[in-house]
């Protein structure tokens, strides 16, 4: 499926906090898809293999204390980047790959690959249902990003996570 998503709810929460330089505390969030079809409505946003998705069986993240998490946690860092909630010195940052190869895929990378198009206000799409029942997320850049067909609009809603678990997501 292909979804058009208003991603501003996630970013508005972070951009408002990034606007003040005196903020010491960072808020972590998770997110769910809204307004999709019955399969994707309220599905958790996930991160696996350098891409964001919905409905993965297992996102294969290495999480704090050996816990198993199947939804991505994130925050907005001091530079206004959408960062995955992780530990260590190498943060993982979200971006949109608008190149001819990426065609608008909503992805993430371990910091060091600094050529990111960091999303600030973003409409998303979720790609075709993959084998195993998952959906990939794409920027709204046409009817068939990445060759996907039969896509529909969704909205992503951010929810504060009161007990976030830090994870390192596969790239």
Q: Is the pLDDT of residue 29 over 90?
A: yes
Q: What is residue 128's predicted lDDT score, i.e. its pLDDT? A: 57
Residue 78 vs residue 45, higher pLDDT = 45
Q: Give, in order, the Cα–Cα distances in Å from 37 to each of 34, 61, 155.
A: 9, 26, 11
Rank 99-103, 138-142, 155-159 by mean pLDDT and report only the highest: 155-159
Residue 144 is part of a domain; what is its CATH number?
2.80.10
Question: How do residues 44-70 score in pLDDT, each as one tens digit?
Answer: 999 999 999 999 999 999 999 999 999
Burial of 42 (0-12, 13-18, 19+ CB in 10 A): exposed
pTM of the model: 0.73
Rank 17-21, 62-66, 131-135 by mean pLDDT and report only the highest: 62-66
Identify the weakest region by mean pLDDT among 9-13, 68-72, 147-151: 9-13
Q: Is the pLDDT of residue 116 over 60?
A: no
- Domain of 103 in residue numbering reads as 5-168
Q: What is the mean pLDDT of residues 111-136?
A: 56
- 122: region left, alpha or beta (phi > 0 left; psi from -120 to 50 alpha): beta
Average pLDDT over all residues of the chain: 76
Rounded to whole angstroms, the Cα distance separating 88 from 5 reads 31
Q: What percent of the chain has pLDDT over 70?
A: 71
Residue 12 vs residue 87, higher pLDDT = 87
Q: What is the mean pLDDT of residues 70-75?
A: 94
Q: What is residue 38's predicted lDDT score, i.e. its pLDDT? A: 84
**Number of domains observed in the structure of the chain:** 1
Assign 150 a pLDDT band (cuts: 50, 70, 90).
confident
Q: Give, in order, the Cα–Cα distances in Å from 45 to each of 8, 22, 24, 33, 101.
A: 15, 30, 26, 7, 23
């Amino acid at each position: 499926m292909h979804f058009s998503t208003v991603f501003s709810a996630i970013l508005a929460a972070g951009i408002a906090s990034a606007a003040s330089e005196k903020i010491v505390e960072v808020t972590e969030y998770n997110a769910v898809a809204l307004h999709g079809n019955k399969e994707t409505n309220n599905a958790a946003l996930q991160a696996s293999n350098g891409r964001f998705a919905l409905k993965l069986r297992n996102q294969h993240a290495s999480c704090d204390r050996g816990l198993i998490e199947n939804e991505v946690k994130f925050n907005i860092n001091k530079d206004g980047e959408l960062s995955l909630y992780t530990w260590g010195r190498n943060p993982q940052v979200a971006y949109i790959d608008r190149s001819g190869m990426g065609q608008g895929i909503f992805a993430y990378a371990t910091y060091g690959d600094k050529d990111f198009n960091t999303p600030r206000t973003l409409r998303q799409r979720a790609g075709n249902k993959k084998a195993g029942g998952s959906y990939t997320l794409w920027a709204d850049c046409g009817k068939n990003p990445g060759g996907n067909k039969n896509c529909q609009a969704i909205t992503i809603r951010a929810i504060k996570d009161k007990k976030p678990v830090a994870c390192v997501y596969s790239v």
